[in-house]
């Protein structure tokens, strides 16, 4: 029988706050799952097309498992294979998913968190991964070399805080530039009692609405006078620098 329970699911509030040429803020509600990549939950065989976690959606190679994709990506960066990996992301529902940020929490044999892989996606189909060290309470800084929003250039750097989820979930990404912090994104949530994958089917439109709302807010920013910046060529992934 297929296992359909994840380690946890979270009801989350996602907030964006822009504090640059135009002040703009919004919050959206959603749901995300924490899954063990050695025991990825699955719907019963006949229902897997309705809802699933797919390797196609993460780190690129759909012919391999999610765990194999993470292991290969880490090995290419001279990081030993973790004893376990937990992924924080939303599943594909009714053929659609868009995860702006997926997090992979990597642990050693003692259960100690050693690394976090942060996978960032944009609405143009681009993907970039960052390797975060966890010596500083899961906080790191990375250069902003990936075109996430058409209303932000690729200058500056991100400060990322991704403590391991527990009963509460808290993720913060701050864009820093000299003398100012023009953008902050947060995800806050509380663990649900129901961690079943089938619960995603109760709101099947929620995964599609993520991409829709990104475009809606983009239109609003355009109407406020912001104009898109040119999209640069994608750069290779780079490791993060721990914050001291």
Which H or E run contains 176?
Answer: strand 168-177
pLDDT score of 59 more than 90 = no
Opening angle at CA 34, ends 43 and 6, nearest 5: 35
Residue 102 contacts residue 56 (beta carbons within 8 Å): no
Confidence tier at 187 by pLDDT (50, 70, 90): very high
Question: Which tokens belong to 94?
Answer: 């009714």
The mean-pLDDT minimum among 24-28, 60-64, 77-81, 209-213 falls in: 209-213
**Sequence-separated (6 or more) residues with CB below 8 Å from residue 87:** 34, 35, 37, 53, 58, 66, 70, 102, 103, 104, 105
CA dist 113 and 239 (Å) reads 17
Per-residue pLDDT, 214: 66
Per-residue pLDDT, 226: 61
pLDDT score of 204 more than 90 = no
CA dist 95 and 112 (Å) reads 35
Per-residue pLDDT, 148: 58
How far is CA 25 from each of CA 186, 207, 218, 221, rounded to the nearest angstrom? 11, 21, 12, 10
138 φ/ψ sector (left φ>0, alpha ψ -120 to 50, else beta): left
Q: Quick one: how far is CA 62 from the chain centroid?
A: 18
Give the residue, 140 or 150, on which the prediction is more confident: 140
> Rounded to two decimals, what is the model's pTM?
0.82
Give the residue, 147 or 115, on which the prediction is more confident: 115
Confidence tier at 39 by pLDDT (50, 70, 90): very high
How far is CA 46 from each of CA 2, 85, 145, 148, 197, rounded to the nearest angstrom? 11, 27, 42, 36, 14
DSSP state of 65: -
Residue-wise pLDDT for 66-118, tens only, equals: 999 999 999 999 999 999 999 999 999 988 888 989 999 999 999 999 999 99
Q: Where does the chain have alpha helices with state H?
A: 66-75, 206-223
Per-residue pLDDT, 228: 63
pLDDT score of 234 more than 80 = no
């Amino acid at each position: 029988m297929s296992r359909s329970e994840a380690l946890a699911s979270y009801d989350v509030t996602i907030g964006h706050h822009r504090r640059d040429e135009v002040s703009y803020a919004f919050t959206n509600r959603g749901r995300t799952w924490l899954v063990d990549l050695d025991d990825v939950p699955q719907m019963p065989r006949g229902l897997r097309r309705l809802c699933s976690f797919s390797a196609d959606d993460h780190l690129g190679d759909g012919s391999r498992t999610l765990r194999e994709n993470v292991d290969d990506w880490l090995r290419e960066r001279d990081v030993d294979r973790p004893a376990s990996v937990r992924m924080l992301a939303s599943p594909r529902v009714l053929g659609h998913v868009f995860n702006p940020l997926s997090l992979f929490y990597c642990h050693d044999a003692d259960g100690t968190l050693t690394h976090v892989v942060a996978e960032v996606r944009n609405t143009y189909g681009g993907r970039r991964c960052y390797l975060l060290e966890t010596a500083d309470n899961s906080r790191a800084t990375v250069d902003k070399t990936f075109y996430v929003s058409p209303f932000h250039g690729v200058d500056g750097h991100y400060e990322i805080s991704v403590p391991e989820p527990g009963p509460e979930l808290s993720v913060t990404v701050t864009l820093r530039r000299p003398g100012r912090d023009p953008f902050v994104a947060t995800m806050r949530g509380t663990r649900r009692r129901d961690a079943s994958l089938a619960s995603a089917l109760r709101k099947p439109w929620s995964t599609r609405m993520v991409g829709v709302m990104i475009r809606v807010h983009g239109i609003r920013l355009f109407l406020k006078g912001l104009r898109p910046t040119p999209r640069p060529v994608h750069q290779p992934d780079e490791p993060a620098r721990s914050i001291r």
